[in-house]
């Protein structure tokens, strides 16, 4: 494999990084204590009546509406309402209205915004990632076995000219 440039071993080396300490104020114990409740609760219902009655004394059984001397029609007199209302312009009303915009600024600036914003506080100088002693990456292919065939012409690999052999892995057609 060394002749065609394929490495036999690939090593991934992680840099040595110091441990990271996490400081917290989470309590280690939470205790919930029950309140002393009585074992039984009783309701004294001695003063509750057994029966409630509604007595309707002196309430009439019939209500009559007597409508005497009601007019048969109510006339509306609109003789004093004018048929049209005229609007006239006041004699001192100006013929033209001008707005003077000479004092309106041509730009508005926002003042007081800082040029820089700084973060103040303790920033860790490094974050350590810890790798296991023997890292393993699981690769799983679920399918039929893949047949690999490599045909190399040594003369074309080591020879000179335009027709040099290139290496390619191509799946074969099943026959």
Q: For residue range 9-36, what is the model confidence (pLDDT) as tens digits?
A: 767 777 777 777 777 777 788 787 777 7
Distance CA(153)–CA(147), nearest Å, equals 20
The predicted pLDDT at position 1 comes to: 46
CB burial readout 33-69, b (16+ within 10 A) else e: eeeeeeeeeeeeeeeeeeeeeeeeeeeeeeeeeeeee
pTM beyond 0.85, yes or no: no
* Average pLDDT per block of 10 residues along the chain, 175 residues long: 63 74 77 78 76 81 82 81 84 83 83 79 78 79 78 63 61 71
């Amino acid at each position: 494999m060394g002749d065609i440039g394929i490495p036999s071993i690939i090593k991934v080396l992680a840099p040595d990084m110091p441990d990271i300490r996490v400081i917290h104020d989470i309590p280690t114990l939470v205790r919930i204590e029950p309140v002393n409740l009585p074992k039984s609760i009783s309701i004294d219902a001695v003063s509750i009546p057994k029966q409630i009655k509604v007595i309707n004394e002196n309430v009439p059984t019939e209500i009559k509406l007597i409508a005497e001397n009601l007019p048969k029609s109510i006339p509306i007199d609109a003789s004093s309402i004018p048929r049209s209302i005229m609007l006239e312009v006041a004699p001192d009303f100006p013929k033209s209205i001008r707005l003077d915009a000479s004092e309106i600024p041509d730009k508005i600036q926002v003042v007081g915004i800082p040029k820089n914003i700084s973060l103040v506080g303790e920033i860790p100088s490094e974050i350590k990632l810890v790798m296991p002693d023997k890292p393993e990456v699981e690769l799983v292919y679920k399918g039929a076995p893949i047949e690999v065939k490599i045909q190399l012409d040594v003369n074309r690999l080591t020879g000179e000219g335009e027709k040099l052999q290139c290496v390619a892995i191509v799946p074969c057609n099943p026959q």
